[in-house]
Structure 1
Amino acid sequence: MGFDHAWTYDHLVWGGLPDSLWSGCMPLLSAAAVVTSTIELGAFVVSPNFRHPVAFSREVETLVDISDGRFLLGLGAGGQPDDVVLGQPALTVGQRVDRFQEFVGLLEMTLSEDHVDADGRYFRARNMRLGRGPVRDRVPFLLAGNGPRSVRFAARHGDAWVTTGQATEGLDEWFGSVGRAVAIVDEELGRRPGRRIDRYLSLEAAPRNPLESVGLFDDMVGRAAELGFTDIIVPWPRDTEPYKASMDVLEAIAERGLGQSR
């Protein structure tokens, strides 16, 4: 169909479809990697809710190898209901962000260095070995952020920033929240001359489904482009909510060739 990237969520349970069949993110992406050759494949997004960066680093190494470097690693602080699915106590928003930042730092170490030891507040490592040599430069970290603190962290440490915007009732208000986050990214990057990052806007969290019509899709993509986003993500059409939409709209967009350029 000509699209640049395809994604799946990384949840054990997802609140949007709590009773539906659910597949493991990394096995699913591995299966997709062996039957494709060019499309980038992403996790949207991995969180510390049920993952440890040391063990997860081995999965990342393996998927980078299987996909020949086509893996896009989205990373976020995580939310409900996965935040307590292992029986752990719920954390405050601030604690989740603290844990996320520690997760990202240790994951980066384990993908870059051999014999990693670490003693953090949330995660520890003892003599973690690289399985295939350093692979960090082959897997981009797309750091998720909607609130100011996480947006700033993504701008400082990510290869890309991904956002879903803030929950609002109207489309104008939603794009307004996205624009405020963009301003924070621009401010942070302005302090680091020469640094740039790709910017991914997920339209699945917008108050309206972008696949309601080709016209609405064009309008939302145009507004995203005006805000400086390099990429967008849209939900695959479903017959029922969430993300109820016609497959005809997605096919019309693909046939028109919009899926062939970001």
Structure 2
Amino acid sequence: MRFGVTILPEYRWSEAAPRWRAVEDLGFDHAWTFDHITWGGLPDSPWVAAMPTLTAAAMVTNRLGLGTFVSTPNNHEPVQFMREILALDDISAGRFLLGLGSGAGLDAGILGQDLTLRQRIDRFHEFTGLLDRLLREDHVTADGDFYGAREVRTLPGPVRGGDAEPRVPLIVAANGPRTIRLAVDVADGWMTYGAPVETADEWWAVLAQVCGRLEDTLDEKGRGRHTITRYLNTDAMPTYALESVGAFEDVVGRAAELGFTDIVVPWPRTTEPFRGDVATLEAVAATVLPRWRS
């Protein structure tokens, strides 16, 4: 099992930088930030952009994976976004993890986008497919319903390169059948937050359903069940995963039973959401992480 922390992009960099350094110093494997125009959980909070934040985080860390939770077609266009991705991957020496999702209605509305849910899913499939090509190929041309490209040069290409890691890892957030199929077709990793439900039992029941859907799709596509990393984002849990060390250990055990390879928890805040104590995060790092290392 690997472990990560989400740091919301609500802080001035002078406040944020020590948190990113602390995540690495505590021994976590990766750290993430939200890539939204705004977030419904904190609609009146200050909010800064994800890609510059991760670039700054790359400069104050050395080994930590750095990811977006999640980048979407709401506020990114594939050709332009490819350039940002390549720059960040280079600056971080290949540590960037590209989380992708279809995008929430809140951001779409703020940007004046009037798309149905089906249209947003269609756009996401096209967005992800083109981005995958742009991160693998050079001289890319494409004609789609939402995006186009004309002989796009993609030099210098990703830092990692080679057959084993041909591009920046794509981690697709998916619950529904269509998007899970997309994850199985093109992604290196799959991510879910379950669903915003009332009780923990309901949340775990949703997770069991979507995990079963993923495994059925892997079998259908002839892809081995261990060929995709599985990220559990705990920010939609009805209770905070870092309420106590014991509560977090319970989350880890139940997630492991469902086949998750990675768990991500929000950095504790002094107010809701994610109200908690940094001392609990530190205790988890000292006691729980070593016991569950893969």
Q: Same fold (TM over 0.5)?
A: yes
Task: Describe how 1:176-255 pairs up with structure 2 within 5 A.
Answer: 176-191=205-220, 192-194=222-224, 196-255=227-286
For 1:9, which of 34, 38, 55 is the aligned residue? 34
1:63 CA drift (Å): 0.7
Task: Describe how 1:10-29 pairs up with structure 2 within 5 A.
Answer: 10-29=35-54
Per the alignment, do residues 193 and 76 of structure 1 end up closer, same or farther by CA in structure 2, a change over 3 Å counting?
Answer: closer
1:3 CA drift (Å): 0.1
Q: Which residue of 2 aligns with 1:261?
A: 293
Task: Describe how 1:1-262 pairs up with structure 2 within 5 A.
Answer: 1-89=26-114, 91-133=115-157, 137-191=166-220, 192-194=222-224, 196-256=227-287, 258=289, 261=293
1:218 CA drift (Å): 0.8
Contact 1:142–1:161 (8 Å) recurs in 2:
yes
Contact 1:143–1:154 (8 Å) recurs in 2:
yes
Contact 2:132–2:186 (8 Å) recurs in 1:
no
Q: For 2:279 and 2:155, how far apart are their aligned partners in 1?
A: 44
Q: Deviations over 1:113-165 (max 9, x none)?
A: 22212111111112211131355724110000022222222123210100001
Q: For 1:193 and 1:88, how far apart are their aligned partners in 2?
A: 36
Q: For 2:231 and 2:32, how far apart are their aligned partners in 1?
A: 12
Report how many residues are paired.
261
Scaled by the length of structure 1, what TM-score is found? 0.95
Could you list the runs of 4 or more consecutive aligned residues of structure 1 that deviate by over 6 angstroms after TM superposition?
A: none
Q: Deviations over 1:195-231 (max 9, x none)?
A: 6100001111111111111111111111000000000
Q: For 1:26 and 1:137, how far apart are their aligned partners in 2?
A: 21
Identity between Structure 1 and Structure 2 (%): 52
1:252 CA drift (Å): 0.8
Q: Deviations over 1:26-63 (max 9, x none)?
A: 11101111111111000110000011011000000111
1:11 CA drift (Å): 0.9
Q: Which amino acid aligns with 1:10?
A: D
Contact 1:8–1:42 (8 Å) recurs in 2:
yes
Q: For 1:71 and 1:79, how far apart are their aligned partners in 2?
A: 23
1:261 CA drift (Å): 2.7
| Other structure's SS at 1:237 match | coil
Q: Which amino acid aligns with 1:44?
A: F
Contact 2:142–2:149 (8 Å) recurs in 1:
yes
| Other structure's SS at 2:260 match | coil
Structure 1, 201-210 or 127-136: larger mean CA deviation: 127-136
Contact 1:49–1:84 (8 Å) recurs in 2:
no
Q: For 2:106 and 2:82, how far apart are their aligned partners in 1?
A: 24
CA RMSD for the aligned pairs? 1.6
Scaled by the length of structure 2, what TM-score is found? 0.85
Q: For 2:88 and 2:207, how far apart are their aligned partners in 1?
A: 31
Structure 1, 78-87 or 233-242: larger mean CA deviation: 78-87
Q: For 1:179 and 1:137, how far apart are their aligned partners in 2?
A: 31
Q: Deviations over 1:167-199 (max 9, x none)?
A: 211111111111111111111212315461000
Q: Which amino acid aligns with 1:221?
A: V
1:66 CA drift (Å): 0.6
Q: Which amino acid aligns with 1:215?
A: G
| Other structure's SS at 2:242 match | helix
